[in-house]
A and B are shown apart, each in its own frame.
Chain A
């Protein structure tokens, strides 16, 4: 097995083109798979020296988070935490303090687990990712990356350099909740990310809700505009949100939760995360 540390995006892409190449960010997924012989890379491409891949920057349009920035650094970033509390909350749930010292957003997304915690929060926030390839860079919505467990739309030689988060609207808030049987060091039975904004008179202006661990990929709920936009979020609307969330569930029955259970929890968490996001949007 070869290990390389490319110094530029194009060098990294070049290396990733090779047969059996794997990108390495924090390694908290890759190294586990390596040890359990789940994967056997012929070349490990450590992407952490690529320029901008470990930076957090703020601009007029919003935020840049390098794809290989450790979660711990993001969690400690005060103004980013203020703007996107839900995303930061999601990151702060990954593993433990030790894991967060290594784990990254790029790895969390590209590992392509339906239970990845940051992904529903990123999708709800309308985040995009910047993908570096052999000849060009492209930008893609986060929800368009994962197509099935372990499978992404990245082509050979492509990797994610960073994520772009929009500048949050006035009176907006986001939130992420997950359910795990333990209190940490566990994998989400369901995860729910909500991002919304309200008008001055308390009506919903925009809302995005994304659920994790309830289908082979994260799901962006559809049909919410009709329920919420331009209205005050009353009990009836919340009940409809619960119904939409439950309907979006196509879970597998496995050791982590029965179909009935995941479905029920999807509704509960969507409702609870919505309430938190709404509070934040209203400035509490």
Chain B
């Protein structure tokens, strides 16, 4: 038997590490690829959602009678059509969710908690009729005062969103409900003692605004529930199995009754890990007996999906004169949106994680406000907390007149470091990325007038999780891979490459597809940078099992013992014997019928051993001091990928993360008016960067292999969104000699600070 866990870290590789075109590429560039809203069924209805106009209000009554009799309306659902659930927290990727909250988020019950909160949904024979029907639904509200910012939500007299919310994690536990859902704390040592020993202490407060993932494809789905209760759901998602499980619970169906197929996805970044339209479409279809298609408008995506938290961050760091950090302390207050579950836990865990800390404490608060419930967004919570820490560290470097890379090198976490959140770290690439940054020509290039250079590092954990995939050897010698962890960033290519490397057959003979929820065992969603790591693990193992079977068949045909056969370059080879004898995969496959039937293998496991990925970014900015406009002049992203299976897609992740970070740092923000209405519900005023806003992002892939993966893979998708916030803020601060502690660094805000300090 082949060793399933054997790693290939030392082996010379033929396919892994090259840059072949992606298997799904042609369909994408020719427009053939089917996205969430691209499917239709006969007799299909259009579903539309009625949303709350108020930020906070009690629902007194809902009257749908007028809408129901409108010609063309086939079904209407409200909270009365969904079961209620007791409070129970379950993990979902890097986030924690609660069914009691999810059922209230997909359809408001007692109260509406944000403008855009769903209150009813209609399925009708046309868009116009559905829209008209929404206008005929009569809802009586009692408007309540609302609260949008964490500092207001914390106040004793703040309007309380959930009358039963008692803060978890404080002793003694409170008797009075508040908007603070929980307090978390991580760390070790004695920070007070550390600060007492420090030669220099810098303490600062930071603000970040709520931002959206900005995926180009709006949420969309097509549901069809038959008379016997079998449900078929097509949707754009990062996790078909997770959608199945949510929907089966919310609708009272069994897992076997729902088949979910993930469409191609136009971006998710964590935002497509929960359900919004899917349970509504299923409920509307079940009630009407007809397929129902739903799609959000861009404005709905902004008001009613799951952006990430705005936050207040306080950071205090004490160092010795030589730059060694002696104590680090931070308090993070994250907006959760209307229901608890801000990513403050991971934020607190990773705040100081790039460093080897002596005394460290990170405290986080999860605070509900009248905004949409936050969802995961690329390294959820990490960019916010690390922005604070990396900014303070930069200021300390300036005060000590130390190079900002040197101070990080002096404190860098390495193999054996105890992470602030508990575990001892395995091999990690913090030092290697810093050294690569220092050596990069960008770091020593001259700067022009009004320009500044910023650097920052970032740490992200990455995860494994439940994974299942299968491989089939076709009769003609081609190979099929069925994968269940949704491909959101090119993972089909990486999976085919690993199978190709193992099998020794060209990649273009391997066809990877994403299976639906009936074709494989449970697969966790694509998040936590787990796809290439976890699915890769099952693909390598199932491929090795298939090779074992191929060898068996060759042994049978040659009438020799299995141990006489080895697998080399896509061929079975007889080890002993007078003359070398080989049989290709295709020859074996052709005779599979007479040697025992089709050849197939699968692997299902709960993958563990994900390796954290570290990154360091260098950015040059130019500040127009008369207008406050910041331009990104040059940008270099350096990251430890463990092993880049497909370097171009690793670089793509690094560049994409950097660009989203640039948007977060420079112009993106949710802007609310005093009624709690979101004012910028489109890309004109919610400013993600356009192409011309960013230079070509240079990348350097560093490879410090993860020993727990056969090829050394670490997840790479999330880390690159962490450094940009601080790197850009540090660069602007250095260009202007004024410390900036607030994001976004939009022209009006920068100019105001330049003018008034």
Contact = CB atoms under 8 A, between A and B. Distances in A.
Given A189-B747, A255-B679, A255-B685, A181 B752 contact: no
A189 B685 CA distance: 11
Interface in B661-677: 666-667, 671
Interface string B673-714: 000000110001101011011000000000000000000000
B616 interface: no
Contacts of A258: 748, 752
Contacts of B747: 179, 181, 189, 257, 261
B684 A261 contact: no
B629 interface: yes
B667 A261 contact: no
Nearest to B744: A181
Contact of B690 (A182, A255, A256): A182
B627 interface: yes
Interface string A172-186: 000000010111111
B748 A255 contact: no
Contact of B751 (A184, A256, A261): A261
A181 B689 CA distance: 10
A203 B687 CA distance: 43
Contacts of B693: 182-183
B626 interface: yes
Interface in B139-173: none
A55 to B, nearest CB: 32
A182 B680 contact: no
A268 B692 contact: no
A261 B750 CA distance: 10
Nearest to A187: B684
Nearest to A261: B748
Contacts of A182: 667, 687, 689-690, 692-693
B336 to A, nearest CB: 24
A257 B748 CA distance: 6
A265 interface: yes
Interface residues of A, number: 19
A256 B680 CA distance: 9
A255 B209 CA distance: 14
A35 B17 CA distance: 47
A264 interface: yes
A260 interface: yes
Interface string B731-757: 000000000000000111001100100
Contact of B680 (A189, A255, A261): A255
Interface string A221-262: 000000000000000000000000000000000111110110
Contacts of B667: 181-182
B297 to A, nearest CB: 9
Contacts of B755: 264
Nearest to A184: B692
Q: Which of A181, A184, A265, A268 has the most CB of B within 10 A?
A: A181
Contact of A181 (B629, B671, B679): B629
Contacts of A183: 631, 690, 692-693
Contacts of B671: 255
Q: Which of B626, B666, B679, B746 has the most CB of A within 10 A?
A: B626
A258 B753 CA distance: 14
Contacts of A264: 751, 755
16 contacts: A179-B627, A181-B747, A182-B692, A182-B693, A183-B692, A186-B684, A255-B679, A255-B680, A256-B685, A257-B748, A258-B748, A258-B752, A260-B748, A261-B748, A264-B751, A268-B626
Given A182-B689, A182-B693, 9 more contacts: A179-B747, A181-B747, A183-B690, A187-B684, A257-B747, A258-B752, A260-B752, A261-B747, A264-B755
